[in-house]
Homo-oligomer: A and B are copies of this chain.
Amino acid sequence: MENQKAVALLDSGVGGLTVVKEMFRQLPREKIVYFGDTARMPYGPRSHEVVRGFVYQIIDFLQTQEVKFIVVACNSATAAGLDYYKEKADLPLLGVIEPGVRAALQETRSGKIGVIGTSGTIESGAYQEVLRRMAPGVELFSQACPLFVLIVENDLVHSPEAERVAEEYLGWLRDEGVDTLIMGCTHYPLLEDVIRSTMGPGVRLISSARETVRETRAIMEEKGLLRGQEDHLYHRFYVSGRAAPFKEMAARLLHDNIRAYQVILGEG
């Protein structure tokens, strides 16, 4: 009854909720167990070793929750060491970087791909590394956009500041002739409108959230892990920080009232 189990998503905080939203859209029959490490976010500025230690604790917890698949729904956590997590978890596990890169390679005509993300993700060179491995001839232009997360978290998505900041970050990518832009942070789909209007209509935007769920679906299908029934689903949302602000954010993003509980890791 492996396919009856839940799909686990882990994130440094609320960003992974865009992946949850995609799960609801693309895999509406799947149960979700979400862990948002809100007490220790953001992961971006932390060392890879520290982030890996956090993710190990979360994987330990998720493995008590009867899950069949783990999505590392956070670019910073993925960049910090996807191969380590794969070794630790005795479950299929997918990060958010490779699905985005694969989709971008399919879309690009000019061979000029842009990627935007947090400072941690961009400075890690993780996207560069994956792209070099998959398609050595393609040019990658990368830009850290640290203010984007703050704009989302502070509900400034539709402000003139958002447009100015977007122009500052993205103008040069547009001018370089990038024809495909990977939104390499799970927060960014929430800024899709302003990013699209800044980049112009000719540029394809790749949502790593959307692509990751698409690949999750493909892998689960291949392994016979998809859940068939259309019954009432209980999703489980856990956070390491206070539950109330997370619930508010989730209500706004998912247009759904969820229950969320604070769990203390570390002594488990």
Q: Per DSSP, are chain A's interface residues mostly helix, strand or loop, or mixed?
A: loop
A63 surroundings in chain B (CB, below 8 A): 234
Copy total for this chain: 2
Q: How far is the CA of A66 from the CA of B1 in the complex (A)?
A: 15
Q: Is A268 close to B, CB under 8 A?
A: yes
Q: How far is the CA of A160 from the CA of B210 in the complex (A)?
A: 67
Within 8 A of B (CB), among A18-43: 31
Q: Is A243 close to B, CB under 8 A?
A: yes
The size bracket of the interface on A is 20 to 34
Contact in complex: B65, A236 (CB < 8 Å) = yes
Q: Is A251 close to B, CB under 8 A?
A: no
Q: Is A229 close to B, CB under 8 A?
A: yes
Which of B65, B247, B261, B268 is the one whose CB lies under 8 Å from A265?
Answer: B261
- Chain B nearest Cβ from A1, distance in angstroms: 5
Within 8 A of B (CB), among A53-81: 60-61, 63-66
Q: How far is the CA of A97 from the CA of B236 in the complex (A)?
A: 31
- Chain B nearest Cβ from A204, distance in angstroms: 39
Contact in complex: A242, B261 (CB < 8 Å) = no
